Amino acid sequence: MGSLCMIFSVWFVPMTSLPILSSPQPADDQPGAARRSSKPHWLDLTEDQLIEWLSDRGHPKFRAKQIRRWVYTGRAETFEQMTDLPAKLRADLADAFELFTGSQACVSTSPDGTEKILVRLHDGGEVECVLLRDGARRSICVSSQVGCAMGCVFCASGLDGVDRNLTRGEILEQMLRLQHRLPADERLSHIVMMGMGEPLANLPGVLGALDVARDENGLGISPRRITISTVGLPPAIDKLAKVGIPYNLAVSLHAPNDELRSRLVPVNRKIGIEPVLSAADRYFESSGRRLTFEYVLLGGINDSEQCAHELTGILRGRSVMMNVIPYNPVEGLPYVTPSNRSITRFKQILESSGINVNFRQRKGNEINAACGQLRRNRQSPQSDSHA
């Protein structure tokens, strides 16, 4: 996750800290079964492309707005449900497109209402997305790639590298699938691009989907309620700044110096912390949005007093929110949760230096809660029972 798929910012419970999930519900289909679609994904169409498609077939342009309303606020799952469209148009749409090209491979629900969906894509790839209920907030965390190339050593999503970028339609489909889980009188309020993958490595797909997410004729979510998370790819951060839309940016640091960061986040070897911080500063200057940094606290690795002091040193003078997330173990990886003592000490040092710190306490050791684990477990024969 260019994002640390495991982290959510201020209002989020991090994925690593999701409460224990109930037994997953039965899947729509069987593990490993690709659902090959021969038709284009309707959600990949821009509004202009939709209007052109309508015009080419003799349908009036105003139908575009009607169709979009059905999809983004009417929660239609098929073209047939768009009952105020002429039957011919509904038939033309169904002949030409698939509204959703994926399927729900697995859904897990926690007692607090958090829901996690494993979406199987048309080619058999799988990604995860999460809906969190927190007071009036209905926040979602969405994936941007199948797998991840960043290779963070503590992350399940990056264990097998990256397969491909998601299309804008596949990113939108995750948002809509989560929206459909809400009662009719509730709507999505916040989006975090912090699921599987590095969002800034897939800017076209991510920005295309977010254009719809913030459009008043789309999901109507303010960019100020949308966060893009990244491990820190300076050229892509600069590109995002040039787009000029005030999305929140969350940069995953995980270490206060290059030696340690390069061990934990291998892509750092080619970049270095200072260029990441400089790019974040430029984003802050152009967007006016407060910067958020993420730091997964790994027991015995990056949770020492010295690390905390170094961290305060590199962040000094910056207006930032620091989200610190005690690690949730991932099966097969050698990293452990920090002790309560080191968590407390780390917190004290950051707070006493005047940094705004948001600490998330780990809530459990649940299987499948951390980003990438649900997908990973589904791919192993032992875990097919989750389906």
Question: What positions carry a catalytic annotation?
Answer: 128, 371
Cβ proximity to ligand SF4: between 219 and 322 the closer is 322
CB of 203 to ligand SF4, least distance (A): 15
Phi, psi of 110 (to 5 degrees): -100, 165
- 197 marked as part of a ligand binding site: yes
Measured from the CB atom, the residue of 150 and 253 that comes closer to ligand SF4 is 150
Q: Does 155 bind ligand SF4 (CB under 6 A)?
A: yes
Residue closer to ligand SF4, measured from CB, 5 or 93? 5
CB of 18 to ligand SF4, least distance (A): 15
Q: Tell me the backbone φ, ψ of residue 69, rounded to 5 degrees.
A: -60, -40
DSSP 199: G
- Find out whether 5 is annotated in a ligand binding site: no
Cα–Cα distance, 113 to 183 (Å, whole number): 12
Burial bucket for residue 56 (CB in 10 Å: 0-12, 13-18, 19+): exposed
Question: Which residue's Cβ lies closest to ligand SF4?
Answer: 158
**Residue 218 or 234: which CB sits closer to ligand SF4?**
234
Which one among 127, 206, 231, 253 touches ligand SF4, defined by CB under 6 A? 231
As a whole number of angstroms, the distance between CA 387 and CA 104 comes to 10
232 binds ligand SF4 (CB under 6 A): no
- Point out which span in 47-55, 133-141, 147-155, 343-351 binds ligand SF4 (CB under 6 A): 147-155
Binding of residue 152 to ligand SF4 (CB under 6 A):
yes
Beta strand extents in the chain (DSSP E only): 103-109, 115-120, 126-134, 137-141, 145-147, 162-165, 190-193, 226-230, 248-252, 291-297, 320-326, 356-359
Residues 282-321: x/- map of binding to ligand SF4 (CB under 6 A)? ----------------------------------------
Using CA atoms, how far apart are residues 270 and 59, in angstroms rounded to an integer?
Answer: 52
218 is in an annotated binding site: no
Other CB atoms within 10 Å distance of the CB of residue 385: 9
Pairing of strands 162-165, 190-193: unpaired
Please give the structure tokens belonging to residue 379.
């791919």
Is the CB of 4 or the CB of 355 nearer to ligand SF4? 4
Q: State the helix-helix crossing angle for 234-243 and 203-214, rounded to 10 degrees.
A: 30
CB of 231 vs ligand SF4, minimal distance in Å: 5
Site for ligand SF4 in 174-213 (CB under 6 A): 196-198
253 is in an annotated binding site: yes
Check whether 85 is labelled as a binding-site residue: no
Q: Does the CA dihedral 186-226-330-157 come out positive or negative?
A: positive
Q: Give how many residues touch ligand SF4 by CB under 6 A.
A: 16
Task: Express the helix, strand and coil content of the chain in percent, nearest 5 each.
Answer: 35, 20, 45
Task: List residues forming the annotated binding site.
Answer: 148, 152, 155, 197-198, 229, 252-254, 328
Known binding-site residue numbers for S-adenosyl-L-methionine: 197-198, 229, 252-254, 328
User: Which residues contact ligand SF4 (rule: CB under 6 A)?
Assistant: 1-5, 148, 150-152, 155, 157-158, 196-198, 231
Binding residues for [4Fe-4S] cluster: 148, 152, 155
